[in-house]
Amino acid sequence: MSEFQTIGLVGRTESESTVVSLKRLMSFLEGEGYTVVLEEGTAASVMEHRVRVSKKEKLGELCDLVIVVGGDGSLLGAARALARFSVPLLGINRGRLGFLTDITPDQVEQKVGEVLSGKYMAESRFLLDMSLTRNGKPIGEGSALNDVVLHPGELIRMIEFDLYIDGQFVYTQRSDGLIISTPTGSTAYALSGGGPIMHPKLDAIVLVPLNPHTLSSRPIVVEGSSEIKIVVSDHSISNPHVTCDGHDQIITKSGDVVRVHKKPHRLTLVHPIEHSFYEACRSKLGWGSSNL
């Protein structure tokens, strides 16, 4: 008997192709005797079904496995909501890049069937927790599987902030912002900003400055257990925004303190047995292959 008996489904509801894959996946799972639970937003797009419907957070309590149909953004959203429940996630790619959602739509029955029969590999990934305080009082918080980003918002203006790592002052920087990324996020926005690619198994965080006003400012890789503190400078000519995986946007003010550290709960990503991080880099990032 499979260790996964109750399967939650989450999909990118605005995509017609996602709905097609969801229906195909539901038919396969029900035909194989599995219990299917649809996330409530997803269920609204999948007409004429008879399966249980649940809030996204509740899937973590009900399910042994959650399958996300969509792009990396869909999986990031599911990860933020479900990490504290320790329910593993499996991704079917209906987006563009698909670094985290690695099963193609035409492989649904084959690859999902293999996973459910025990032929899979599991990876543990950590998330980041972000909190913002103003005059010592909490203003907002969020979590991210990819990155926490300090940026100018809609106005393209240079911002100024002080950076501390584990209580030690690092620098005062004037730039377009700062990306604080996990290894998972190192192949996303941090990569576009000039950061290094980090293997998912690394226990490290990378800080990537965005267009710093000095040629000597470079990405810094620190221990995954580090606490990062950003203090928004009184000299900043704009009010920087803070986002977590591009969501949970908070507008800061001068003197605000942003703290980022590793989330205590880890996420388990499930992949087909032949999954390779380096193959994903080759195919998704267009790396050249050797002819030797």
Q: What confidence score (pLDDT) does residue 289 get?
A: 59
What is the count of structural domains for the chain? 2
Which is nearest to 259 in space by CA: 154, 176, 159, 140? 140
Q: What is the rounded average pLDDT of the residues 195-199? A: 97
| Final residue of a structural domain among 92, 118, 144 | 118
Tell me phi and psi for residue 70, to 5 degrees: 160, -150
Query: In the predicted model, is pLDDT for residue 167 greater than 60?
Result: yes
Helix 16-31 vs helix 108-116: crossing angle, to nearest 10: 50
pLDDT category, 290, cuts 50, 70, 90? low
Q: What is the rounded average pLDDT of the residues 92-114? A: 88
3-class SS at 188? Answer: coil
What is the pTM for the complete model shown? Answer: 0.93
The reply to whether 240 and 134 lie within a common domain is yes
Q: What is the rounded average pLDDT of the residues 57-61? A: 93
Q: Each residue of 64-77: pLDDT tens digit?
A: 999 999 989 999 99
Query: In the predicted model, is pLDDT for residue 291 greater than 50?
Result: no
Is residue 277 in some structural domain? no
51 is written with which tokens?
């399966």
For residue 257, what are the CA distances in angstroms to 134, 155, 165? 7, 21, 13
Query: What is the C-alpha R_g of the chain?
Result: 20
Catalytic residue among 72, 102, 147, 176: 72
Q: Which residue has the tokens 């226990």?
A: 203
Higher-pLDDT residue of 44 and 178 is: 178
Q: What confidence score (pLDDT) does residue 292 get?
A: 43
CATH of the domain at 107: 3.40.50.10330
Q: Cα–Cα distance between 259 and 270 in angstroms, integer?
A: 30
Q: What confidence score (pLDDT) does residue 287 get?
A: 86
Q: Each residue of 200-219: pLDDT tens digit?
A: 999 999 999 999 988 889 99
Query: In the predicted model, is pLDDT for residue 175 greater than 70?
Result: yes
Contact criterion met (CB below 8 Å) for 2 and 116: yes
Q: Cα–Cα distance between 179 and 111 in angstroms, integer?
A: 34
17 is written with which tokens?
């192709």
Q: Which domain holds residue 193?
A: 127-264
- % of the chain surpassing 70 pLDDT: 97
Note if 106 is an active site residue.
Answer: no
Query: What count of residues does the chain have?
Result: 292
Query: In the predicted model, is pLDDT for residue 34 greater than 70?
Result: yes
Q: Which residue has the tokens 């990537």?
A: 208
What's 197's DSSP letter? P
CATH of the domain at 145: 2.60.200.30
